[in-house]
Structure 1
């Protein structure tokens, strides 16, 4: 039996939960132009990241740097230390500005992979990019309809990407040297409920957790792509999820319909 508690409210379209090494939970507020934080002692606050910004996916690295997609400014941005103004790291590919960057992750070699689905109102292919550790940017896929959340399976050599508008999840072998997504194939179909899979995270149990936006649930998948469990949620629009590495908060979910952060515990 899972217990679901609300740990933060009144958030303006939260997304991208992640943790810094001191146990602070962070997420973005797409419609609040801010990054929200919640410390272990219960104190909370926000960092405003600029007029016109629309922060989306968030990744926190081993140095506690906050990397986030900013679909409003069509860029990937980074905060390297507390109080720093977010810097633009990537804002172009092939000589054109990024098309609504959405989510991002890093491989074991320091290469950043991110999705650019384009406008959510258009049903046309978006693309996926990689930015190498030395700053070279290229597209690695241009065929998915609203590529969204992404993660690596336990071997760190299989890249998983959610395709929201077709309600399916893809996998392919990740070549961290040549920077190619090799032989991507459909790994799972998420069913008719909701708009489709949004954020993805790999759990400490080596299962993949997918937030089903519009479906009021998380779907849990085995590494071979078969459905293991469905976790029903009180809000209609979960956008992403992440595990607290300390175990204190369990599995955290951002829910946009009610503007909440949820905690799921056994």
Structure 2
């Protein structure tokens, strides 16, 4: 069963994130330059003043937020931001995109051209107070997620319609060459955001297909769940038992958007997810 969680239409909903201590769901409208959430009192939002796209949790009241200019500590009660590190200061034509915390306390973030220029982006890891470049020449970085044990990472380039996987060492750094996990070119599918469930399977939102798809650890397609918005963009697990899947969507690129396009949804995936790891500063 799929339900509307929030009916505010996002131009580019992204960065689905469940804060495990607050038991609160957050997401972004990148092009709307907003961080969004809901509490028992209703919808809330913060104007970020620039493109912001992904978050992780530092403590109960603090998030790490990725934007086009850097990585920031964001204080939820006050909305104040403190910069932790710059991000591609030499590439003002770029912005941040998909990102997620890794189980070893790091935070991975992808960048891309604001006009999706080919191979203009990269994927970085923030760890030990510094930003380290991991992979370059990426057009639209997405699907950043990690196995529960932290020894394998996944990422996609939506423009290439591929999801890769790479082994990680005990400290969370890539320890080998990336290998193709899923190649969606023949199906004409566009891999967007992704998250791993407690069984190690990958849930991928597929832009333009109006669905999320579950791939087993060996890359086989297990199941798909439709949402009523064409541009599914990013999933995450949440809820008190981590048995609900939140999915953002987008109106970007649609000449005739329908009422559900851009809304945020909640569905029953039939499996449980994992607690989002804390980012260590």
Could you state the TM-score of these two structures normalised by the residue count of structure 2? 0.82
Give the Cα separation in 2 of the matches to 1:151 and 1:62: 20
Distance 2:73 2:224 in 1: 34
Aligned length in residues: 257
The answer to whether the 8 A contact 1:68-1:76 is kept is yes
Matching residue of 1:259:
262
Match of 1:45 in 2: 44
**CA-atom RMSD in angstroms:** 2.4
Gaps of 5+ in 1: none
Change (3 A) 1:9 1:147: same
User: Pairwise mapping of residues 1-266 of structure 1 onto structure 2 (< 5 A)?
Assistant: 3-12=1-10, 13-20=12-19, 21-39=21-39, 41=40, 43-50=42-49, 53-61=50-58, 63-71=60-68, 74-93=69-88, 96-97=90-91, 99-124=94-119, 126-133=121-128, 135-175=129-169, 177=171, 179-180=173-174, 182-192=176-186, 196-247=190-241, 250-257=244-251, 258-265=261-268
Deviates more, 1:233-242 or 1:140-149: 140-149
Q: Which has the higher contact order (CA 8 A, sep 6+)?
A: 2
Deviates more, 1:211-220 or 1:75-84: 75-84
1:113–1:241 Cα change, 3 Å = same
> Partners of 1:138 and 1:174 in 2: how far apart?
15
The SS at the match of 1:165 is helix
Q: How far apart, CA to CA, are the structure 2 residues paired with 1:85 and 1:97?
A: 25
State the shift of 1:209 in Å.
0.5
> 1:152 and 1:10 mapped to 2: Cα distance?
29
Q: In structure 1, the residue corresponding to 2:138 is in which secondary structure?
A: coil
Alpha-carbon displacement from aligned partner over 1:133-188 (angstroms, at most 9, x marks no partner): 2x222211114342223000233110100111111100011235484452111111
CA distance in 2, matches of 1:195, 1:87: 38
Aligned equivalents of 1:47, 1:81: Cα separation in 2: 9
Are residues 63 and 192 of structure 1, via their aligned partners in 2, closer, same or farther at CA, if it must alter by over 3 Å? farther
Decide whether aligned partners of structure 1 residues 263 and 178 sit closer, same or farther in structure 2, where only a CA change above 3 A counts. Answer: closer
Q: CA deviation at 1:14?
A: 1.9
Scaled by the length of structure 1, what TM-score is found?
Answer: 0.86
Q: 1:123: Cα distance to partner?
A: 2.1
Structure 2: runs of 5 or more not aligned: 252-260, 271-281
Deviation at 1:33, TM superposition (A): 2.0
Distance in 2, Cα, partners of 1:226 & 1:30? 31
Tell me which stretches of 4 or more aligned residues in structure 1 moved more than 6 Å.
none
- Superposition deviation, residue 223 in structure 1: 1.3
Aligned twin of 2:257: none
SS at match of 2:125: strand
